[in-house]
Structure 1
Amino acid sequence: MLVALYVLLFPYHPGLRSPNELCRLWQTRALVEYGTLDINRALKDFGYVGDLSVKDGRYYPSKAPLLSFAAVPVYAVLRAWNGGFLYAVREVPLVFFSRLFLTVLPTLGMLWLVRRFLGAYVSAAVADAVTVTYGLGSLAFSYSLLFMSHQTTAVLLFGGFYALWRLARGEWRERGYLVAGACAGATVAAEYTGALGVLGLMLYAVLTVLWREEPVRARWGRLGRGVGLALLGALPFVVGLMLYHQAAFGHPLESGYKHLNDAAYQPWHLGGFLGIRYPDPRAFALSFFSPLRGLFTLSPFLLLALPGVWVLRRESRGNGEMRAHLWLVVALLAGYTYFTSSFSYDSWGWTTGPRHLTGLVPFLLLPAALVLERLRTSGRPVLAGAAAALCTASIVFTGLATFVNYVPDDVSNVVLGLAVPLLRAGYQPPSALNVLGVSNPEAGVLLLCLLLGLAVWVFLRLGLSGTGRTATLPLLAGLATLALLVGVQAATVKHHDADRGAVGFLEKVWLVPPGRTLDF
């Protein structure tokens, strides 16, 4: 059911002219159609898009270039399949298949790795439930269904971590450092802020080597070989990125953010380091707790990672492997928290959740899973039921938000102020079912039932493991927790003019309104 939701859902509305996605795909068009990095002719032939940089009269996406280049084979195949002329590839199928092959399928592969990783430390029930919750109840779901680089960054960071983890356990040969290095280099080529996660992986790699139980000389030799192999793996992506910067912006270390076309965006990237300044309490509070796009508001199960750090600390006593995990989680949590607290919150814009924290989320799964495991096995059914409800609520809240996935900045509450009113009015998300002839709202209701069914399954998998009183207590605690979380959502929705205006606007641009199907 999880795979079906990923493959079938297609929240996209051409009328919004999604700048973050289309600027990348317009460069893909330019690479195939004209053999150029700049998108001047693509803008003329296919229409204007946003999120651009300009240098010497030439326009480029302001984003890191990896996804633009990765989509070239997808575009080339679609172009050949549809006749091979300039306008052979329409916008909607281009977005659909680019997402499918470059953001959806890689995340599904990552979920398999996440399940294997968690299964080494917790029971199958907890590993299954946390994997599904991550897949549907976190930013992973939202950004797998958008052609943006945030979930790509998470996939690459976790891929690099997984290689380092297998190396630390002696399960891979040293050439696995090539994989880790390639993932690190590709991360920065996909999203510049991914460098934060790469620094965390570097710390983890060093600690896992230095804390090995072997002679000092052997450890330092292993570290030297690992660094060399990792640099070799990263080299093609780093060199490619620098060559791109040189060709587009005149310097190998100068990105598009130095040449933004829209003057209104310039202040967000001025001052400090690429716009990263001193922390702002408002940015911190809204990034984590805003009813519109707060990380913990949409994914309350991630709150379990906070006490999970303490559990990790206890597990790390005398255990070098867990101690390295602890330092990795602490370093990434501190780094990403500082970033989101010191960068302009207003720059998140029209997205689900605090998008630049997407790369952090996979590394919070182990501490959260350890807490769930402790609660299940320590004879605390009330707390176990409440924790299970946090996972269920995450799937419902983030899932409903992802069904919309384009969130205006002035909405009071993304779930009850935007998603629920749209769904109740029959504006279900576009999907591949619409292409097969199933109209909305029927197609959307089917997908909604899949989402809610998996949310219930996660609760049952985590919260109900006995009979009689041992099953009743977690059930009641879970229901009470869900009621509390829904109450918080209800208390923060305003149903004011901005909410109604956002709903009305999205209804006007909705790709598959009630009673319609979709033709590629």
Structure 2
Amino acid sequence: MWATVAALYVVLFPYHPGLRSPNELCRLWQTRALVEDGTLEINRALRDYGPVGDLSVMDGRYYPSKAPLLSFAAVPVYAALRAVGGGHRYAVPEVPLVFFSRLFLTVLPTLGLLWLVRRFLQAFLSPAVADGVTVTYALGSLAFSYSLLFMSHQTTAVLLFAGFYALWRLSRGEWRERGYAVAGACAGATVAAEYTGGLGVLGLVLYAVLTVLGTPEPWASRLKKLGRATGLAVLGALPLIVALGLYHQATFGHPLETGYKHLNDAAYQPWHLGGFLGIRTPDPRAFTLSFFSPLRGLFTLSPFLLLALPGLVLLKRQGKTSPEARALFWMSAATLAGYTYFTSSFTYDSWGWTTGPRHLTGLVPFLLLPAGLVLERLRGAGRPVLSGIAAMLCAASVLVTGLATFVNYIPDDVSTPVLALARPLLMDGYHPPNLLAFLGLPTALAGAVLFAALAAVAAYVFGTLGQDTAGRALRPAAWAAGLATLAVLAGAQAAFTRNDRADQNAVRFLESVWLQPPGRSATPFWPRAGS
């Protein structure tokens, strides 16, 4: 099953050059500028390679409006591709640049993250539940969607969890104290990748303080250890934070001034005014749509995350007798509260053409243990009906988020991502762009392979998590409850699917820019010069 998950990550390539994906290309244009011109500004790259969005402007010089880590991280990838392509200015076409930048900087790091997640979960859950939850996270959450986009959201999740993993191993005495420098470096890189990643960093700080001060040592020893840990963490974070400040100074004139204060498109400026970087007081509409919108609500796309809510209660109960569980509970609860406040206080309409509430991507890994605790409790309690419901929530997450990710550019005015967008595209023969088709496999056959792989993973998740602790085959009651849950979820999506003009126009537009359209010449992976 792990090979199937990895294959889906590597083979899928939802990208359409005609969309001019601004969040991705503005970063890669800066990568081009760094390699070809040795500059941070992208003025020449815009002239040579075409206009893109998500820009900031300062004294006539254009920069990405995003935090800069990914732009710099892609430099060695681009330099290597440029050498392979002949070493000249136009040596690297757009499609291979996007593909390999995603592969090395968002896809492979997430596959590494899955290994860390699985190791962490296995310390608290049975192997079957740990594997099932990890696979569900891999294909049934925002991790899948944003690993397949050259954006910073999944990078933030990877860095946050890597920092947490270091702190967790330190709290168990399994790493030496210098591991705090690793956690600090991950925290600094998080902020350099995505400014709002600082919300997750605060959760890590809380966890570190609780684990250091929660030991049975004398208070003097605890405070001394906390001081050493703080110093090492700051030492690890400092190079990246200083580099980020120098970048802001060079581009926007002040170490603490980001590109969001100098947006090129005045229509987007109000989203980032007021409060802190546009974060104001909570808005019920933003909260409701971020979590429950039929188009991109977090719990709509990944209903298995609903299990994390009662799971936090279980974790808190464990914390009465376990300092480790207590620290995990407060970190998870604080991280959830912080991200909830953010998504409820920021302009919901700013999410853009994306799968789900993208800025919540960093939160998701910290909800996995609570969700897993519920699944574990149900398996051990001999409750086949509840086990079937919970297991189907996981399997449905794989199907819904997986199918949405096959498209992965979701217009704002579509009613639902699967029934209103993915289904009609598939029925019209528009299969998800993928590496198999680039290698010569017919697009319909390649698409069928991908859909079959996704369905196989969903079946594995349901079969694994719906069993009891003895590993016996699913009981009829579990099957019935699971199928009923799937029917309810599908019915809810059908009820919100309008199939109106907005839905139809979105489908037609995506078909007009599709990378590998049926019956027409697809964009070559690496076109020859002049083609």
> Hey, what's the Cα distance between the residues in 2 that align with 1:502 and 1:204?
44
Q: Which residue of 2 aligns with 1:485?
A: 489
Choose from 369, 379, 387 the match for 1:376. Answer: 379
Structural mapping, 1:155-170, within 5 Å? 155-170=158-173
> Hey, what's the Cα distance between the residues in 1 that align with 2:173 and 2:471?
42
Q: Which residue of 1 aligns with 2:500?
A: 496
> Hey, what's the Cα distance between the residues in 2 that align with 1:144 and 1:324?
29
> Hey, what's the Cα distance between the residues in 2 that align with 1:322 and 1:241?
35
Q: Which residue of 2 aligns with 1:14?
A: 17
Alpha-carbon contact 1:464-1:475 (below 8 Å) kept:
no
Q: Which residue of 1 aligns with 2:136?
A: 133
Q: Which residue of 1 aligns with 2:410?
A: 407
SS of equivalent residue, structure 2 residue 443: coil
Alpha-carbon contact 2:463-2:474 (below 8 Å) kept:
no
- 1:519 maps onto 2:525 in alignment: yes
Q: Which residue of 2 aligns with 1:51?
A: 54
Q: Which residue of 2 aligns with 1:453?
A: 456
> Hey, what's the Cα distance between the residues in 2 that align with 1:327 and 1:227?
19
> Hey, what's the Cα distance between the residues in 2 that align with 1:457 and 1:469?
12
After superposition, the C-alpha distances for 1:113-157 in whole angstroms (9 at most, x for unaligned) are 000000000000100000000000000000000000000000000
Task: Kindly report the root-mean-square deviation, in angstroms, between the aligned alpha carbons of the 2 structures.
Answer: 1.1
Q: Which residue of 2 aligns with 1:87?
A: 90
After superposition, the C-alpha distances for 1:21-40 in whole angstroms (9 at most, x for unaligned) are 00000000000000000000
After superposition, the C-alpha distances for 1:324-349 in whole angstroms (9 at most, x for unaligned) are 00100110111100100010000001
Alpha-carbon contact 1:309-1:367 (below 8 Å) kept:
yes
Q: Which residue of 2 aligns with 1:100?
A: 103
- Bigger shift: 265-274 or 439-448? 439-448
TM-score, normalised relative to structure 1: 0.99
Choose from 252, 260, 263 the match for 1:260. Answer: 263
Corresponding letter in the other structure for 2:488: L
> Hey, what's the Cα distance between the residues in 1 that align with 2:471 and 2:137?
28
SS of equivalent residue, structure 2 residue 355: coil
> Hey, what's the Cα distance between the residues in 2 that align with 1:519 and 1:79?
15
How far off its partner does 1:439 sit? 2.3
> Hey, what's the Cα distance between the residues in 2 that align with 1:467 and 1:146?
37
- 1:361 maps onto 2:401 in alignment: no
Instruction: State how many pairs are aligned.
Output: 520
Choose from 344, 363, 375 the match for 1:341. Answer: 344
Alpha-carbon contact 2:121-2:369 (below 8 Å) kept:
yes
Alpha-carbon contact 2:466-2:474 (below 8 Å) kept:
no
> Hey, what's the Cα distance between the residues in 2 that align with 1:160 and 1:263?
36
> Hey, what's the Cα distance between the residues in 1 that align with 2:465 and 2:330?
28
SS of equivalent residue, structure 2 residue 106: helix
Unpaired stretches in structure 2, ≥5 consecutive residues: 527-531
Structural mapping, 1:143-182, within 5 Å? 143-182=146-185
Alpha-carbon contact 2:302-2:400 (below 8 Å) kept:
yes
Alpha-carbon contact 1:40-1:58 (below 8 Å) kept:
yes
Identical positions, percent? 74
Structural mapping, 1:95-494, within 5 Å? 95-465=98-468, 471-494=475-498
> Hey, what's the Cα distance between the residues in 2 that align with 1:434 and 1:324?
48
How far off its partner does 1:468 sit? 9.0
> Hey, what's the Cα distance between the residues in 2 that align with 1:273 and 1:334?
17
Unpaired stretches in structure 1, ≥5 consecutive residues: none
> Hey, what's the Cα distance between the residues in 2 that align with 1:372 and 1:285?
26
> Hey, what's the Cα distance between the residues in 1 that align with 2:459 and 2:471?
18
SS of equivalent residue, structure 1 residue 11: coil
SS of equivalent residue, structure 1 residue 441: helix
TM-score, normalised relative to structure 2: 0.97
Corresponding letter in the other structure for 1:278: T
Alpha-carbon contact 1:104-1:144 (below 8 Å) kept:
yes
Alpha-carbon contact 2:140-2:400 (below 8 Å) kept:
yes
After superposition, the C-alpha distances for 1:398-452 in whole angstroms (9 at most, x for unaligned) are 0000000000000011110001111121111111111211121211110111011
